[in-house]
C-alpha cells in the first residue's frame, strides 16, 4: 500500500515563492533547526537551500541559478532514472504544533492514520526527516549509479560548470513512524513522481509518495573531480562477429572482430581421362565417401568439385568448403571513449568513461 507523504502549508505568516509556501522566518530554534528563512534552513551548523524546494527531487540533475537579485536556487533539468538510487534517513527532528503554527505550517494528513485528511488544525507531532543518497561509490550511491547511467551522466555534463545534483532533502511528515528505516529504501521515479519503497518491517506502509509540497529544504552537490578513466571496460564485438582478435603493431594498433563464413561445394569422383563419368557415382559412407562403379569396377576416391576448397567428412554426404573472413571494429558502450593504444589488460584495447571521481556539497554561500 502506498501513501502520500506530506505536510500541507497554509498562508499564516508563510512566504510563497515559485508556487510553494515556505516557512516564515524564525530566529528561535525548533527541534534541531537553528534558523529557518524563505531561503535557508540550518541544522547542526549546516545550511540547506530552500528556494524552489518543490523542484528539488532526490537524484535529479539541474543548474545552480545565481540571479543578480534574489537568492541562489536549484533549477531542475532532469529527474533521476527509476530505481537506481538508495535512500537513507540521515537525520530527524520533531517540531511541535506550536512551532509549526509560528512558521505558518499545518499538517493536512497523518501517515500513521492511513492518510486520513484532517478537516481541522492538526495537533500532533510533525517530524522533519533528512532523506539522502550517499555520495559514495557502492551500489545505490550517487557517484556509482550516475556513472553507470550514461543518460543521467550526460545530462550532468551538459550543464557545465553550474551543474548540480540533489543529494538530500528535508521533508515534513505529519505523525511519525516507529523507526527511520520506514522511510529508507529504493527511490522510484515515474513521470516526475517519486516514491520510496521500503522492505522494513513494522511500518504502516511499504511505499511513500513524496509530495513536492513536503520538501522544505535540499542539499546541492557538484562534481569535485572528474576522472578520464573512472570506469574501464573491454570493447565488445558487434552481433555475429564473435571472434575477438587483439592487435598491437604500429601499423594496425586497433583490435578487430572477425566473422567466419563458409562457401560450400559438392564432392565428385576422382576419375581418369579414360573413365566415363556416367558410369560412376558418389556413395556416402561412414568416414570419407567413395566413388563406385556402375559396371562393377573397383572403388575410386572422391575429391572437391572445385579447387581451393577443403574436404569435410561429415555424417551423410561429404562436402567441401572454403572459409571467408570478414571484419568489423570493436565497440564501446555509449558514452565511453575507445582507447586503441592501451598497454594494459594484456594489450587488449580498452573503453574509458570520463566519470565522476568525487562529489562535494555546494559552498555555503548565496543563500
- The Cα–Cα gap between 277 and 281 comes to 8
Residue 62 has pLDDT above 50, yes or no: yes
Residue 9 has pLDDT above 50, yes or no: no
Decide if 82 contacts 103 (C-beta within 8 A): no
Lowest mean pLDDT among 58-72, 172-186, 331-345: 172-186
Helices then strands, counting H and E runs in the chain, come out as 3, 27
Q: How many Cβ atoms are within 10 Å of 142's Cβ, its own excluded? A: 26
pLDDT value at position 105?
44
Q: DSSP per residue over 99-160, as a string?
A: HHHHHTB---EEGGGTSEEPSS---S-EEEEEEE---SSSTTSHHHHHHT-HHHHHHHHHTG
pLDDT value at position 307?
94
Residue 243 has pLDDT above 70, yes or no: yes
pLDDT value at position 363?
72
pLDDT value at position 177?
65
**DSSP-H helix ranges across the chain:** 97-103, 142-147, 150-158
Residue 222 grid cell: 557538484
* pLDDT confidence band for 77 (50 / 70 / 90): very high
- The Cα–Cα gap between 151 and 137 comes to 18
- Mean per-residue pLDDT over the chain, rounded: 81
Strand partners, 35: 42
32: nearest Cα among 97, 87, 99, 88: 99
Q: What angle do CA 275, 280, 284 make, to 5 degrees?
A: 140
* pLDDT confidence band for 207 (50 / 70 / 90): confident
pTM across the whole model: 0.73
Mean pLDDT value of segment 189-197: 75
- The Cα–Cα gap between 49 and 362 comes to 10
Q: What is the pLDDT of residues 245-285, one digit of tens each?
A: 998 888 888 999 999 999 999 999 999 999 999 999 999 98
pLDDT value at position 265?
96
Rounded to 5, what percent of the chain is helix, strand, coil? 10, 45, 45
- The Cα–Cα gap between 115 and 200 comes to 19
- The Cα–Cα gap between 46 and 160 comes to 26
- The Cα–Cα gap between 208 and 65 comes to 30
| Residue whose C-alpha cell is 560450400 | 264
Residue 341 has pLDDT above 80, yes or no: no
* pLDDT confidence band for 241 (50 / 70 / 90): very high
Residue 49 has pLDDT above 60, yes or no: yes
Q: Is 144 exposed, middle or buried (0-12, 13-18, 19+ CB in 10 A)?
A: buried
Residue 10 has pLDDT above 90, yes or no: no
| Residue whose C-alpha cell is 550517487 | 142
259 Rama class: left (phi>0) / alpha (psi -120 to 50) / beta: beta
Residue 149 has pLDDT above 90, yes or no: yes
Amino acid at each position: 500500500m502506498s501513501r502520500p507523504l506530506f505536510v500541507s502549508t497554509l498562508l499564516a505568516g508563510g512566504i510563497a515563492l515559485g508556487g510553494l509556501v515556505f516557512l516564515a522566518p524564525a530566529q528561535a530554534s525548533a527541534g534541531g533547526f537553528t534558523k529557518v528563512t524563505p531561503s535557508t534552513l540550518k541544522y547542526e551548523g549546516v545550511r540547506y537551500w530552500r528556494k524552489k524546494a518543490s523542484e528539488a527531487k532526490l537524484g535529479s540533475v539541474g543548474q545552480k541559478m545565481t540571479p543578480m537579485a534574489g537568492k541562489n536556487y536549484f533549477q531542475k533539468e532532469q529527474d533521476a532514472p527509476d530505481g537506481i538510487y538508495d535512500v537513507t534517513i540521515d537525520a530527524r527532528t520533531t517540531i511541535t504544533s506550536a512551532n509549526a503554527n509560528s512558521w505558518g505550517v499545518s499538517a493536512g494528513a497523518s501517515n500513521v492514520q492511513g492518510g486520513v485528511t484532517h478537516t481541522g488544525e492538526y495537533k500532533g507531532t510533525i517530524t522533519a526527516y533528512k532523506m539522502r543518497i550517499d555520495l559514495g561509490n557502492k551500489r545505490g550511491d550517487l557517484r556509482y549509479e550516475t556513472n553507470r547511467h550514461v543518460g543521467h551522466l550526460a545530462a550532468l555534463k551538459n550543464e557545465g560548470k553550474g551543474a548540480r545534483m540533489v543529494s538530500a532533502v528535508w521533508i515534513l511528515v505529519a505523525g511519525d513512524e516507529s523507526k527511520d528505516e520506514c522511510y529508507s529504501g529504493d527511490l522510484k521515479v515515474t513521470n516526475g513522481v517519486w516514491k520510496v519503497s521500503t522492505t522494513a518491517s513494522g511500518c504502516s506502509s511499504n511505499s511513500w509518495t513524496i509530495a513536492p509540497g513536503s520538501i522544505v529544504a535540499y542539499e546541492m552537490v557538484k562534481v569535485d573531480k572528474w576522472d578520464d578513466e573512472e570506469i574501464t571496460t573491454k570493447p565488445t564485438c558487434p552481433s555475429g562477429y564473435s571472434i575477438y582478435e587483439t592487435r598491437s603493431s604500429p601499423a594496425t594498433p586497433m583490435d578487430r572482430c572477425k566473422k567466419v563464413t563458409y562457401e560450400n561445394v559438392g564432392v565428385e569422383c576422382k576419375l581418369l581421362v579414360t573413365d566415363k563419368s556416367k558410369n560412376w557415382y558418389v556413395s556416402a559412407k561412414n568416414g570419407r565417401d567413395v566413388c563406385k562403379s556402375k559396371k562393377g569396377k573397383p572403388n575410386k576416391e572422391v575429391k572437391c568439385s572445385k579447387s581451393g576448397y577443403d574436404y569435410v567428412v561429415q555424417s551423410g554426404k561429404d562436402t567441401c568448403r572454403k572459409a571467408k573472413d570478414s571484419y568489423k571494429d570493436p565497440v564501446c558502450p555509449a558514452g565511453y571513449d575507445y582507447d586503441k593504444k592501451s598497454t594494459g589488460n594484456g594489450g587488449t584495447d580498452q573503453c574509458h568513461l570520463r566519470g565522476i571521481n568525487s562529489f562535494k556539497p555546494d559552498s555555503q554561500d548565496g543563500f
